[in-house]
Chain A
Amino acid sequence: MLPLSIKDDEYKPTKYNLLLKLSGWFRSILADKTSRNLFFFLCLNLSFAFVELTYGIWSNSLGLISDSFHMFFDCTALLAGLAASVISRWRSNDSFSYGYVRAEVLAGFVNGLFLIFTAFFIFSEGVERALEPPDVHHERLLPVSVAGLLVNLVGIFAFQHGGHGHSHGEGDHGHSHSLFNGSTSHGHSHGGHHHHDKHADWHSHGGHEEPHYNDELQHLPGKGSSKQILQGVLLHIIADTLGSVGVIISALLMQKYDLMIADPICSMLIAILIGVSVVPLLKESIGILMQRTPFSLDHALPECYQRVQQLQGVYNLQEPHFWTLCTDVYIGTLKLLVAPDADTRWILSQTHHIFTQAGVRQLYVQIDTAAM
């Protein structure tokens, strides 16, 4: 028998498969605008880190070397965000019945944790240095921190623009998740024991569903939440920039007025700033991961319950569970106790419609008939 198809994938050596996979990932990264931005920012950060590393090795400055390592640490967080944006687009399979969409929430959460850890670490080093001020080599401080500021500003412009005017024509289905990671490097004293500020890792929901569908009902919730997230992203980057500006100021202070205490105080302030700015991100991701009722539905749900209970034949609405799968995708389950002679089909479709109006598109309604 002749073969019906030429599927010799399994006979190919694994090297080709890996290359194929990598190129597939590459294409999927470059396809979406926000992940493309993320990728380029990652490259920028990486190249900056390498430059810093080579410069540090060449000039034998331990501080620069350690700072470049911190930058690499930053880049791993960026990489995690990028990986999550790729992973969340994979198809669902047997083990992941919802697909991998939650990866971006998880990545946001993990990056928030990394940020908090970095803030804690910077704070502790600031304390150490306040207690035992080391010699400060701040000659190389200024150019490095200025360069870091520039990299940050690039990030601001890239993601601010990418946020609002995001691609309307792209993305066949589903969502585009963009994870932003803004990082900065600012030099510090101690022979340049540089610290890295932080990352902000956010996921913003690319609102490119709008042009595809004319359903105005779903338009508003999506737009609102992504806007909020983008605002958060911008706040983060602005805090980042303020951080590097602060470092530049402290470097100037140290050079002009020899105020050594400026450096630890600066790092402590920056650490506190990072910690404070990460809290909203953490709150949101924790809410999603804890299967909390979606924030945006908090007000709409009781009204929906009322409407459902007023349907004819419905005795009671029990065990409502609503939770967020990923940004703007809400899933709900509930149980209705209905009269034996009720029209279940009609009740089902009505319930679905009521909740679709509220924005919950995946709903599971269990109908239990009360015995007479």
Chain B
Amino acid sequence: MACEPNRARLLCMLSLTFGFFIVEVVVSRMTSSLSMLSDSFHMLSDVIALVVALVAVRFAEKTQATNKNTFGWIRAEVMGALVNAVFLTALCFTIVLEAVERFTEPHEIESPVVVAGVGAAGLLVNLLGLCLFHGHAGGGHGHSHGGHSHGSKNKRGKTSKNSKAGNGSSGEETNNLVGNHNSPGDGRPRNEISCKGSTEVQMNGNTHYEEMDPDHDSSSQLNMRGVFLHVLGDALGSVIVVVNAVIFTFVWQPCIKGEKCMNPCVNSHSADHYHDNNTVVDLHVGPTVPTMKFAGPCWVLYLDPTLCIIMVSILLYTTYPLLKESALILLQTVPKQINMHRLNERLLSLDGVLAIHELHIWQLAGSRIIATAHIKCHDPTSYMEVAKRIKDLFHNEGIHATTIQPEFVTFSSESRDSLCELSCRTQCAPKLCCGAADKQNTGSDKKAAVASNLEVISETSEAAGAVVQVCPGSEAEVRIAREVESSL
């Protein structure tokens, strides 16, 4: 199972990080260091990111269609990636805020040795996490999909299609795609299967189980990338903590208790006086303290916020592509490797196809791409012949879940090939939120042609509706007869 290594890694990392979080909280209580406490909360956010990724992976395993989620839960991984990316961005903002606060009010580190120790331990944990997830985030990995056999599904001519498909899809994750093509897309084999009379082929049934592996990989990669970036951010944070603590121990000369010294860097109320045995000695009272010591170089205190800001910029730079990619998938973009124009032209070049409307291609998750279109043909028989070739065309592009709606030329609209017969009724044309504006112009002159259909249909629908409500089964024949006579 492709998911098992992911889950195992996530669980392992999760337990490690959670354990470390507990350790940090305990240490912070013992040393009463506030910065350690805040760092432990960063660890907690890491834990939450891992939990999110784990939940997404578990959900995405259920690729069976359910009643409510007809596509299965496979999109959960894209969502998990987005959630992680957003959390990371929010975390970066918080760190920036804290860094700015530190700039205005620098703090010394109390007990830097302990901090260095804990920071080093945290770094180890994070490096381990990086190793665990690096292979995943790098892209592609060894799952052999080529040899999938899919049981009872019809596999006629699959191997030839595999090679074609391999060339058709450009670039990414070719090993995944080869496996993907093994899965019987809904279109082509279904006709053959229907010949055998088994009409119960549900695409979202067993086939998804086998399809799951390749899709799981490429979409789970997105998820794992999110986790990887989170762990990377944490690792950088630990590096900063360690570097800061080490420099602090070696460079900083602190004010030892009992000695008269002042800390000039901290711009607090103690800058102009200091406490000497519970009395306040005002520093501005002339040069009366020749043996005054000053705490170590000030720039050390500003090192921490500076490094934080550098780390934030690195993190944001690496998170942005992940954020963009998952957001684009969720926005129903056409996948990068598909060229709509070219696809359109190729579809139009098939004979029998008069026009194409409402072509929509979007990515469900990973390499599962879904396309829908209206194809205008002369009549049902020509449609049947052309349907297979259309499906093949889509298969070559790597799109296996297609729904093609046929439209037939009505007698009155010979000249209007480019208009969509069934795009909408007149009222709903402007309500379509996608490109409806360009259709509006065509909608108005279509009104005349569609109106006649409309009246007919509304008449039948009322009849149908009324009859269905009254008695679902028995008067079916009467209703059908009425509808047939009034349809054309």
Contact = CB atoms under 8 A, between A and B. Distances in A.
B87 interface: yes
Interface string A330-365: 010111010000011110111011101100011111
Interface in B84-118: 86-87, 90-91, 93-94, 97, 100-101, 104-105
Contacts of B472: 306, 310
Contact of A370 (B186, B194, B341): B194
Given A97-B360, A290-B79, A365-B405, A346 B340 contact: no
Best-buried of A76, A315, A320, A349 by chain B (most CB within 10 Å): A349
Contacts of B453: 349
A252 B214 CA distance: 60
A372 B164 CA distance: 32
A106 B436 contact: no
B424 interface: yes
Best-buried of B104, B331, B384, B432 by chain A (most CB within 10 Å): B331
Contacts of A337: 194, 199
A286 B79 contact: yes
Contacts of A353: 457, 461
A114 B91 CA distance: 10
Contact of B101 (A62, A101, A334, A348): A62
A101 B360 CA distance: 14
A346 B199 contact: no
Interface in B344-383: 358-362, 364, 372-374, 380, 383
B149 interface: no
B194 A310 contact: no
A209 B432 CA distance: 11
B34 interface: yes
Contacts of B383: 344, 367
B340 A94 contact: yes
A337 B453 CA distance: 24
A93 to B, nearest CB: 9
B422 A352 contact: yes
Contact of A132 (B34, B87, B199): B34
B447 to A, nearest CB: 13
B101 to A, nearest CB: 6
B54 interface: no
Given A98-B332, A325-B433, A362-B358, 14 more contacts: A76-B93, A91-B437, A96-B331, A121-B94, A124-B44, A128-B38, A174-B431, A215-B428, A291-B71, A310-B472, A312-B484, A344-B380, A345-B408, A364-B373
A292 to B, nearest CB: 5
B230 interface: no
B332 A361 contact: no
Interface of A: 62, 65-66, 69-70, 73, 76, 91-92, 94-103, 106, 109-110, 113-114, 117-118, 120-121, 124, 128, 131-132, 172-175, 209, 212-215, 218, 286, 289-293, 298, 306-307, 310-312, 315-316, 318-323, 325-326, 329, 331, 333-335, 337, 343-346, 348-350, 352-354, 356-357, 361-371
A281 B121 CA distance: 39
A371 B431 contact: no
B418 interface: no
B433 A96 contact: no
Given A132-B34, A290-B79, A352-B422, A95 B334 contact: yes
B360 A290 contact: no
A73 B424 contact: no
Contacts of A73: 93, 97
Contact of A290 (B32, B73, B190, B203): B73
The 5 closest A-B pairs by CB, nearest first: A333-B403, A117-B90, A173-B430, A215-B427, A364-B372
Contacts of B440: 173
Interface string B391-407: 00000000000011111
B70 to A, nearest CB: 5
Contacts of B480: 311-312
Interface string B326-342: 01001111100000110
A331 B199 CA distance: 25
Contacts of B437: 91, 172-174
Contacts of A311: 480
A366 B431 CA distance: 23
A334 B406 contact: no
Nearest to A288: B330
Best-buried of A106, A121, A344, A345 by chain B (most CB within 10 Å): A345
A214 B87 CA distance: 45
Contacts of A331: 372
Interface residues of B, number: 98
B332 A102 contact: yes
B190 A368 contact: yes
A343 B70 contact: no
Contacts of A298: 68
Interface string B450-488: 000100010011001100100011001000100110011
B435 interface: yes
A344 B433 contact: no
A316 B201 CA distance: 11
Contacts of B362: 97-98
Nearest to B468: A307
A101 B480 CA distance: 40
A348 B422 contact: yes
Contacts of B457: 349-350, 353
B199 A110 contact: no
29 contacts: A70-B97, A92-B434, A99-B433, A100-B331, A113-B87, A117-B86, A132-B34, A172-B437, A173-B436, A173-B437, A286-B79, A290-B69, A319-B203, A321-B70, A323-B70, A326-B433, A329-B431, A329-B433, A335-B186, A335-B403, A348-B422, A350-B461, A350-B483, A356-B425, A357-B461, A368-B190, A368-B194, A369-B380, A371-B195
B479 to A, nearest CB: 9
B191 A117 contact: no
B204 interface: yes
A213 B427 contact: yes
A159 B130 CA distance: 46
Contacts of B209: none
B431 A361 contact: yes
Contacts of A209: 430-431
A322 B359 contact: no
B68 A96 contact: no
A86 to B, nearest CB: 15
Nearest to A302: B67
